[in-house]
Amino acid sequence: MSSPDPDLSHITPRDQAEILAQALPYIRRFHGKTLVIKYGGNAMTDPALQQDFAEDVVLLKLVGMNPIVVHGGGPQIDDALAKIGKKGTFIQGMRVTDEETMEVVEWVLGGEVQQDIVGLINAAGGKAVGLTGRDGGMIRARQMKLTDKDDPSKQHDIGQVGEITSIDPSVVKALQDDQFIPVISPIGFGEKNESYNINADLVAAKLATVLNAEKLVMLTNIKGVLNKAGELLTDLTARQIDELIEDGTISGGMLPKIAGAIDAAKSGVNAVHIVDGRVPHAMLLEILTDQAYGTMIRSH
């Protein structure tokens, strides 16, 4: 048994018991339910936060929930491309992915990044298994068509960037039933067996929808959805989100971050949480306590 975390030494045993008791109704409510977690931002690059994340995932599994992790890896892809002297090209914020870039994406996401996460979860006492969209024929995709923002009649070829055509979650379900924690890299495959790099937020959202997940949790580098005064909006419905987009409260870089979240909420995922991954154990606190560490979007 490891020694208690020194950070908790100021909390009395009674208070610690109170904290555990507070989590009980949530543990009971979400027992046996599926949680899809999009892992990204600082939580993925800061060693202390990586550790917290792995412990949170293992704890959720141990108390009877079924966490599934979908990860990104933009900064790691940039580093790997720089090492081989390849400069990333972007059109309208999308990475142009030629064949050579796609090879790098596959070995960074499906290799290095994925196995780091698997290792962290296993070291924290879980049993993680790494998958890409190829495994079990999980994520079928086709080339994404990018319409020019100024001239809608023009389309850009951004190479092997994909959009999802279908997800077959049977391999994920089989692993879950066997007490494993699936860790999924957002790589899909096309009709001619070609690989596609897919936005991880969209993979997480679509997977949550297909699995009829109880929750989709998106760890990001933002506090959540803010109002015009910069205050955190902790509890919203999908309809309220639409209103915030219409009046311009949600705009710019925030929109793509929550597009998948809104789709998932509208497609039957009970709750979507946009969580500040810069806060230690934010995910656990958001799921198992009354405290808000981000924005929850309810389906209705």
Residue 204 has pLDDT above 70, yes or no: yes
User: 294 labelled as ligand-binding?
Assistant: no
> What would the pLDDT profile of 54-71 be if each residue is shown by its tens digit?
999 999 999 999 999 999
Q: Is 22 helix (H, G, I), strand (E, B) or coil?
A: helix
Q: What pLDDT shows up at residue 2?
A: 46
Residue 101, amino acid = T
Residue 32 has pLDDT above 50, yes or no: yes
In the structure, how many helices (H) and strands (E) does the chain have? 10, 16
Q: How confident is the model at residue 3 (pLDDT cuts 50, 70, 90)?
A: very low
Q: What pLDDT shows up at residue 173?
A: 93
User: 73 labelled as ligand-binding?
Assistant: yes
CA 27 to chain centre: 21
| Mean pLDDT (whole number) for 226-240 | 87
Lowest mean pLDDT among 1-10, 94-103, 126-135: 1-10
Question: Hunting for tokens 């599994």 — which residue is that?
Answer: 61
Residue 6 has pLDDT above 70, yes or no: no
Q: What percent of the chain shows pLDDT beyond 90?
A: 54
Q: Is 30 helix (H, G, I), strand (E, B) or coil?
A: helix
Question: Hunting for tokens 């933002």 — which residue is that?
Answer: 222
In terms of Cα–Cα distance, which of 175, 170, 173, 163 is closest to 205?
Answer: 163
Q: Which residue has the higher pLDDT, 255 or 25?
A: 25
Q: How confident is the model at residue 258 (pLDDT cuts 50, 70, 90)?
A: confident
Burial of 261 (0-12, 13-18, 19+ CB in 10 A): buried
- Pairing type for strands 235-237 and 215-220 reads unpaired
**Cα 184 to Cα 135: distance, rounded to the nearest angstrom:** 10
Q: Which domains, ranges and CATH numbers included, belong to the chain?
A: 26-298 (3.40.1160.10)
Residue 9 has pLDDT above 70, yes or no: no
User: 95 labelled as ligand-binding?
Assistant: yes
DSSP H or E segment with residue 265: helix 254-266
| Mean pLDDT (whole number) for 263-282 | 89
Q: Is 176 helix (H, G, I), strand (E, B) or coil?
A: helix
